[in-house]
Structure 1
Amino acid sequence: MKKSIIIFSIVILQGCSVDDNSNGIIQDLAPITSVNIPTSFIASKSYEMGINYERPSSCHYFAGLDITQKNNEVTIGVVNHSKTSSSNCSKSGDLSKTTSLKFVVERNDFYIFRFWKGENSLGEDEFIIKQIPVAQPDDE
């Protein structure tokens, strides 16, 4: 998944890499399990999207969103941090968390959202894909 950030994200991050353990911090993408997103947008309005994700362990905490936009396609990943010195971490129990994204509609046609949900058995990225049409304000 590309690692660039766009301005409308709720959190500004540096590029994310699982190998970035400077200062004893590891950054991981956490699989998104579901999203709460409108079925349509109105041009020039803003919307709050709910994003549910699964932390890899109890020692991981939310660090921000990794968002890439190219034309009408928006790819979103949840970034978690953990300390390399963390011990006593559990990989079971309730590791589910929710975050949100405020999104401002700037296009007049449609968006394709790709929410990163992990890798398949071949190591390929998989996504929850939502195509959302955009209506004009007077079409309400």
Structure 2
Amino acid sequence: MIKKNLLTVVFLVGLVFTGCDLSEDEPIYIQVSAITEVTNPNQYAKDSITEIPVKFKLPSQCHVFRKFYYEAHDFNRLVAIESLKSGDNICAQDEELKTAVLRFKPTSLGTYHFKFWLGEDAQGLDQFIEFDAVVDH
């Protein structure tokens, strides 16, 4: 927790020294971004947190990871990446593969079906990495 808070402070101080102007006139863009890879853990337990590593690329070097886009309906889960960009700057594409951890805490026994959004194919159809998480204890 302390390490995470320290990284947040370092990031915010870095923004101040790099001259980013986060004035009210600056537009903020939130974008849903595709996932490139997911590691499916072997075990899931009711009322216990399981960490699911998720790899992704951001749309540009001006984007930062905001949070997971997460929809839950019964035992179905839809997951994507939400990124944030401040301003109308034109930025280079971000080629760096990043990792975030989805913390999943099932509250019921059963099989949860995950769909991680990969983006759209050439015909504009959504593509997913799918797997089931069996919570049996």
Matched, 1:26 2:29: yes
Q: Match for residue 125 of structure 1?
A: 126
TM-score (norm 1): 0.73
Q: How much does 1:105 deviate?
A: 1.5
Letter in 2 for 1:65: F
**C-alpha distance in 2 between matches for 1:95 and 1:61:** 12
Displacement of 1:38: 1.0
Q: Report deviation, 1:40.
A: 3.2
Q: Give yes or no for the alignment of 1:80 onto 2:94.
A: no
1:5 counterpart residue number: none
Unaligned runs of 5+ in 2: 1-24
Identity of aligned residues (%): 24
Given candidates 38, 42, 52, the residue that maps to 1:39 is 42
Q: Cα offset for 1:33?
A: 0.5
Superimposed CA distance per residue, residues 59-93 of structure 1 (whole angstroms, 9 cap, x where no aligned partner): 11111111101110010110011123223x1115x
Aligned residue pairs: how many? Answer: 113
Instruction: State the partner residue of 2:8.
Output: none
Unaligned residue ranges in structure 1 (runs of 5+): 1-21
Rounded to whole Å, the distance in 2 between the matches of 1:32 and 1:62 is: 12
Inter-partner Cα distance in structure 1 for 2:87 and 2:124: 24
**How far apart are 1:130 and its partner, in Å?**
0.9
After TM superposition, give the deviation of residue 26 of structure 1 in Å. 1.4
CA RMSD, 1 decimal: 1.7
Q: For 1:116 and 1:73, how far apart are their aligned partners in 2? A: 13
Distance across 2 between alignment mates of 1:82 and 1:39:
35
The structure with the largest helix share of the pair is 2
Report what 1:69 is aligned to: 72
Displaced runs of 4+ in structure 1, greater than 6 A?
none
Deviation at 1:43, TM superposition (A): 2.1
Amino acid at match of 2:92: S
1:105 aligns with 2:132: no
TM-score relative to the length of structure 2: 0.75
**Separation in 1, partners of 2:89, 2:101:** 27
